[in-house]
Amino acid sequence: MPSRSDVHYFGAGPAPLPTNVLENASRALLNYNDKGIGICEISHRSPEANQILADAKNGLSTLLDIPDDYEILFLQGGGSGEFSAVVYHMVSLWVEKRRQRAEAELGAGKEAEVLERLRKEVKDELKLDYLVTGSWSLKASQEAARLVGSEHVNVAVDARKANNGKFGTIPAEAEWSLTPKQPGAAFTYFCDNETVDGVEVPAFPAALEGPDVAPVIADMSSNFISRRVDVSKYGVIFGGAQKNIGNAGVTIVIVKKALLGPLAAPTLLRQLNLPVGPIVLDWPTIAKNNSLYNTLPIFDVWVAGQVMQGLVQAYGAQKIAGQEEISNKKAELIYAVLDKHPGVYRVVPDKSVRSRMNICFRVHGGDDAREKDFLAGGEKRGLTGLKGHRSVGGIRASNYNAVPLEGAQKLAEYLEEYAKSS
């Protein structure tokens, strides 16, 4: 039976965690802070739980230099839950702003006229912009269409149209069809790193900067805390923890406080035939209750906090730039061998948008038998979790933070060895 040190796991999620965090977790599960009970048994409203939350927030704030005018929320539902929460929240925010404007222009006591105007504006002007660059942003746009109707969803980019029907590139910004600033979209959504398709947005899009742009919502589930991020450019950043930050069960949302309200009343939303979201996905409610509106999985928050505090201690003044340097180096090692042997390997996404986190490639043109042989060879060398997503097949090396440099080096060595022998 192999030991943990003999295996380098490249699974896409749940992903590996630092061994020292797991060792500490095993002790915390039995006896947390010498209380005689485990961390999963303490009250989520206890002083200990509040301290765990504070430590996790502080770790993330330190790593990403999160400005004071942002709130950090911990909740459940994963990235998919936030696909819905984004729509519920941002549409409600958009409606309330329009209601206030209509009331100011039409005057008090004109409720019927205000409602009629809102109905027309919702019908004619409510737009949610989506940059569809991979499987997850596609799912997010589909959820938006399910909730509010496809007529309100503007797919400003469908990257498949520029790549023979498959994901793997991002069209130039000049080709995007964003909703004009006047009247403006309720928000613009993109997935910063597409786990399935190996596409990562290289940098914050210039088209989404400047005055009067719609609030930018980014799903960073699979590249959270792997590179520097100017949080001030985003309205909302969210992600499930189970890639770079922790274990499955907790979702993190970083939201600009100015976007937390006021929101349209549920009665008004129903009058406009717009959805009212569940309370457990309601960001203002979660914020007011310090993420403790309902029973939060405190153990999951503790694990995430341990991972983030470990990075703070490891990189000091460098903060997340220290991890970014390592992430880049690991990706460069693997891509260098793949590019060196084009007759054996084909990297799926275009070079301009290759993910550092999810390295997707085919072996011998996608020959099924030879890819199975490649995976079997990797397993024998302790290189596991390399099978591509079931929807696209192939090989995927998920190069998350907890994969050590040594793991990337061993994978690069195997890639070289396999190429020479096949």
Is residue 6 in some structural domain?
no
Residue 3: what pLDDT?
86
Residue 236: what pLDDT?
98
All residues at 6 or more sequence positions from 407 whose CB lies less than 8 Å from its CB, including other chains: 8, 10, 330, 383
Known active-site residue 219: yes
Is 344 found in the same domain as 265? no
Is 324 found in the same domain as 289? no
Q: What is the CATH number of the domain that holds 351?
A: 3.90.1150.10
Is 189 found in the same domain as 115? yes
Q: From the candidates 136, 192, 282, 330, give the one annotated as an active-site residue.
A: 136
Known active-site residue 129: no
Is residue 155 in some structural domain?
yes
3-state secondary structure of 239: strand
The predicted model scores a pTM of 0.97
Q: Averaged in consecutive runs of 10 residues, what is the pLDDT profile of the chain (422 residues)?
A: 89 94 97 96 95 98 98 97 98 98 94 97 98 98 98 98 96 97 95 98 96 96 97 98 95 98 97 98 98 96 98 97 98 98 98 98 97 97 96 96 97 98 90
Is 327 found in the same domain as 293? no
Known active-site residue 65: no
Is 325 found in the same domain as 293? no
Pairwise CA distance, residues 238 & 236, whole Å: 7
Residue 422: what pLDDT?
85
Q: What's the structural domain count of the chain? A: 2
Is 235 found in the same domain as 104? yes
Domain of residue 345 covers: 319-421
Residue 205: what pLDDT?
98
Per-residue tokens: 293? 């509106």
Q: From the candidates 57, 243, 330, 387, give the one annotated as an active-site residue.
A: 243
Cis preceding linkage at 297, omega within 30: no
Q: From the candidates 129, 197, 219, 282, give the one annotated as an active-site residue.
A: 219
Is 251 found in the same domain as 331? no
Strand partners, 396: 360
